[in-house]
Structure 1
Amino acid sequence: MTFKLAIIGGSGLYDIDGLEDARWQAVETPWGPPSDEMLTGRLGDLALVFLPRHGRGHVHTPGSIPYRANIDALKRLGVTDVISVSACGSFRETMAPGDFVIVDQFIDRTIAREQSFFGPGCVGHVSVANPACPRLAAACAGAARSTGVTVHEGGTYLAMEGPQFSTLAESRMYRESWGADVIGMTNMPEAKLAREAELCYATVAMVTDYDSWHPEHGEVDVTRIIATLTANSAHAREMLRALPDHLGARPVPCPAGCDRALDHAILTAPGARDPALVAKLDAVAGRVLG
């Protein structure tokens, strides 16, 4: 299998410089248009696709991002591995603004988004017990650490619906009762859809603030967030340039089973499947649907 990496850039990260043979490419999907065109190119010998999650100019809200189209488009381009780079708030004093957190778990609090490629006429259930690929996460940690950023390996990301920030009561509950470490608005259902598409997936969460729980920081201030975002984005670009030295050869199959997530996931009998939905699943689930 050819190793092809995708970077999904969050707030503050709308392009990547230094790519060889770089060009923006439109991709059509049966789920509608993705957030933007895809920037394709190479980092040395590494084939890479970059997608600005919110679109260039930041035109998509967390709830309007076409998550299914984004993941489908990456799959159509032959992507095998996806690294999500996302801004987040922190529930831990030790995870300070400017730090990077390599997320390994999620709590999904989104309520108004399409959660799956599957549905009536082709029912599928995948496991997301361990939604992050350990191999890919370790490479991200190594690349980030090489830039001098403080890196925390492991953390639970709470995905909220947004677009508003948390109330103080919510922030305290997520931190004290639920045990979340960071909070953001965009990694769900993205991580779930990546698993359905049998893509290895990892999240690098860039801390911008302490949400609203911290007694010395008070409510979230967008002005301060933007200042931290700018610095974080510069570090993120350094991390991405360092990635090829930390990825190594891609094992096939993935030791964590990411690329075989659909082996036993489809419940609908072949004769009962909706041909229209099966046709839409050609890129995501073609391996098992034929």
Structure 2
Amino acid sequence: MAAIDDLPPLREVIAAHGLSARKALGQNFLLDLNLTAKIARVAGDLSDTDVLEVGPGPGGLTRGLLAEGARRVVAVEKDARCLPVLAEIAAAYPGRLEVLNADALDIDWAAQLRPPRKIVANLPYNVGTELLVRWLTPPEWPPQWDSLTLMFQREVADRIVAQPGSKAYGRLAVLAQWRADARIAMTLPPEAFTPPPKVRSAVVHLTALPEPRFPADPEILSRVVQMAFGQRRKMLRAALKALAPDIEDRLAEAGLRPTDRAEQVPIEGFCALARIMARG
């Protein structure tokens, strides 16, 4: 394996520091530095960019980001066991890595980085979806990030890029694709990780759009979509009846058939219904 920097291989680092991935923290360490550099390249040119990384663990992706030229990386790590390893990486890349021993759900991440900002992370499985939804639903748009390059379980990645009519299509697809271009950039087998997870993983790249694809109030759209997919086996007229007593008329006005189910409705259709619901 070719080295990407002068630091030791990750297996040696983990052994020297007695690190082991903890299931309770959703940890699966990616040790192939060629792979971590490849993931960093998916994020595009990093030379004039601050990068947020969540859950760096022993720092494989951190090293990839720095080796690929990131102006600055802010790594948020909840597990204090990993801090000495990350400190060694910071010393090897003076002034370019800041490590925060914190929970990513609790910090004002944007205040830590200068624009332009990108988020690149092998997200802990237990908080990955929650973080993604937060990044996709800020109070104002465009968001404070330019792009997201995130690793998920393949099942979650499929849900992000799913199209109407598929079983994977749901709330996550609508939230992601309403305001961003989303694609699966690469897939990784379980054996790429230590310990190997029981599922395949995939890297999803999302680029923020300057404006949402279709006009809609974000809160109303979120409520409509959540109700529709909350009872996805029901027809729209049943799943959304709590929204308004005349929901069938409103569905028809939005160009939707009351007998359709949520997975048949394109994003444009949900946005049309949200605009109608906004009239009260």
**Pairwise TM-score range, normalised by the shorter structure:** under 0.3
* TM-score normalised by L of structure 1: 0.26
Q: Looking at both structures, which has the greater relative contact order when contacts are Cα pairs under 8 Å and sequence separation is at least 6? A: 1
Structure with more of its chain in strand, by fraction: 1
Which structure is larger by alpha-carbon Rg, 1 or 2? Answer: 2
